[in-house]
Structure 1
């Protein structure tokens, strides 16, 4: 990050300097893991469920940090003592971003596709200026300011993914990094257990549009009526994307090849050109259009955007990540996270790939979390969809996902087309025993269901 004195930090976070001079300078990395601490950095001692960051302040000091953000003095260590280190982390990030007036902040949110779209945006714009775009999903009140603090005086673009579990979450995050470009991808059912309805989710996601800075651009999905209606929540320029005829950035002639990779004609202004994505799944068309609209908003030409989309790959793992094993089994790891919309899209991609290869298809599915009272119905619907799509084998893992198996059975699954197992270990044992050359296996669940470990084990089995 840009150099900031300890005195300036203390003023910004309302902290007290203990064992450190106001003239001390933080010009290294800001970290929450003492193993990542280094000279000139700042360690943020966050309380955790199992460990307390204060127990590692000494380790960070030994690693050479200028100071640690703490709630109490720690003997032998330079500290900036605050009431709440997490809040102070956000206030520090706001201070740093405020000192970078030429920084273009691209904020994005949505119920599905945030991280994949963030990756695509990074791929498109990074050739045209130094870009901060985190790998993975650093989209909460901790990860977001840590991402912002990676910006330096030479950074041109900051791409900031923002999630929400409650109203006001995005307002808080955009307060740290006011967006020059604000993007809302969609309003789905993710976290509906917290919000209660899609309309309430739309209210929360629309906070991104309300936060777009003067002279900035709001980017909205023309194919999602709840997102399109957010136009009324800003006085800034609006750019729309989608397959709808009225979209400013539009796709027509969408086709999916035998490997599940979509192609389409991109329309932008007076330009029309072919885009062949390297990504698996028709749902990536919407993400690509969103990224294209953001790139147009920051000044890229249509030709640069089309070229970038044709070359783009994702940076973040476990998102429709395809691996061909040496024994002929194909594993599609989409187990980073899951909700009903993304699971439906993944199943359709699995079937398209299997059909093109004449291969058996396996869907190994775990629980989709945070669906509230709709959970049983949503899981049941996914099981029924797997049968309608003619997935050859459905393996449902864990008690929370069991309604998928019941739904598949009620839809007409017969024999062992659908199998329920309680544990990841049982699922792995079944797959190791029954997979054969040519099979295509999709693994998908919410992060907390931990099926990513199953996907990793399947990939490692024949490397």
Structure 2
């Protein structure tokens, strides 16, 4: 398991007693290390003197196999669920996965100064999290979930990075099964938390949007101050029913925090942010209506934790998107939009609307969407139908196992000729080069997007290289 816990700043050291107290484990043969532990990590490659290595076990790997190696690297302690024949102090626990959660929860409890925001949703989590990070880190040191460390392993890994100077934490919580958000939100103990939206991501695991809503709503069981509600979501009423706090704040159309006078530009947007504290114009450096919605969500979370309107606007205006999230890259005479970080049906449609705002010939290059279970073929069919129908998009190039299903959807409309389907990137590349040669010297805008496993950035890089 290679989840790196390295951070540039010095972490709070752990005492031997704290390790044992947090994990409820016992020292093998009562053999303990002397001195403090500088950090706990799960990546054997980084282990060195002063570290405690926590050996996770997954379906296809068992980090107990690396304990002799970390001992040779000078690592002092191994946290294990079974004793191992290696010359290293071993803290034996019932389950190392749960021990990691206990250590994260312990670290969280040791930082009572912290104001914690937790958020979940089907799409927009990462962008909303980055916007909140921009708002809060202007004011005080803030811990923000890195990358996709948002599951039952990633969340405690992030909590282990808490330091006494942190005043805020923004934790993104993801769900791949029922009970996961209950587990992580209990660990995080948020003051303010909520759902951004209920979409169609992970349909496969949850058997439909009702199941997704149930899984995400587990976040409302562990909030100490204010619950955040997406007013315009189809599931808003179901979500309201899950709220347990006296205080709540809703965002979006029909909510208490909402956008009006929205102007969408090619690579940015502006809107009036309306709140109980007043209204302010926001010049948002993000394209797309969905990002205006993400900004109103971020504003609601920030208001609920006591941030003033001026600070919220300043933070939103300085926010920077995460890598692979609608990054605009001018290259030669062309515009490339890198939205390859991940995809679900909702974010795919939102990206198409952004592409439609760009200049010249507009080409959307899509990879498969994962985790749709038995709905995969029909969801790709609907996506193909909808993408070619977006006004302003000239070509859609679908790549992957479900590209033929998307093409069938496209052909159910009058715009069927806009779509080409390819089973892999190698087949799609010559077609894209041909498109460029055919339309030269007209300006062209390309948007690349797909689920993480499709690595659409590889196809984008290959095309850029050929220009």
- Give the TM-score taking structure 2 as reference length: 0.90
1:23 to partner: Cα distance: 5.3
Q: Deviations over 1:157-184 (max 9, x none)?
A: 1211111122211101112111111121
1:237 to partner: Cα distance: 1.1
Unaligned runs of 5+ in 2: 1-10
Q: What is aligned with 2:3?
A: none
Distance in 2 (CA, whole Å) between partners of 1:81 and 1:122 is 37
Say yes or no: does 1:430 pair with 2:438. no
Change (3 A) 1:53 1:453: farther
Say yes or no: does 1:451 pair with 2:456. yes
1:460 to partner: Cα distance: 5.5
Q: What is aligned with 1:44?
A: 54
1:48 to partner: Cα distance: 4.4
Change (3 A) 1:54 1:433: farther
Q: What is aligned with 1:121?
A: 132
1:62 to partner: Cα distance: 4.3
CA RMSD of aligned residues (A): 2.1
Q: What is aligned with 1:379?
A: 380
Change (3 A) 1:457 1:16: farther
Change (3 A) 1:17 1:461: farther
Say yes or no: does 1:106 pair with 2:117. yes
Q: What is aligned with 1:57?
A: 67
SS across alignment from 1:313: coil
Alignment check: 8 A CA contact 2:407 2:416 kept: no
Q: What is aligned with 2:146?
A: 135
1:49 to partner: Cα distance: 5.3
Distance in 1 (CA, whole Å) between partners of 2:387 and 2:175 is 29
Q: Which has the larger displacement, 279-288 or 221-230? A: 221-230
1:73 to partner: Cα distance: 2.2
Q: What is aligned with 1:238?
A: 248
Q: What is aligned with 2:6?
A: none
Distance in 2 (CA, whole Å) between partners of 1:235 and 1:65 is 45
Distance in 1 (CA, whole Å) between partners of 2:283 and 2:329 is 20
Say yes or no: does 1:3 pair with 2:13. yes
Alignment check: 8 A CA contact 1:8 1:22 kept: no
1:304 to partner: Cα distance: 1.0
Distance in 2 (CA, whole Å) between partners of 1:176 and 1:66 is 27
Alignment check: 8 A CA contact 1:117 1:288 kept: yes
Say yes or no: does 1:172 pair with 2:172. no
How many residue pairs get aligned? The number is 449
Alignment check: 8 A CA contact 2:47 2:75 kept: yes
Change (3 A) 1:456 1:124: farther
Distance in 1 (CA, whole Å) between partners of 2:25 and 2:403 is 46
Q: How does 1:353-364 map to 2 (within 5 A)?
A: 353=358, 357=359, 359-364=360-365
Unaligned runs of 5+ in 1: none
Q: What is aligned with 1:336?
A: 341
1:79 to partner: Cα distance: 2.4
Select 1:411's aligned residue among 389, 405, 413.
Answer: 413
- Give the TM-score taking structure 1 as reference length: 0.91
Say yes or no: does 1:191 pair with 2:202. yes
Q: What is aligned with 2:173?
A: 162
Q: What is aligned with 1:275?
A: 282
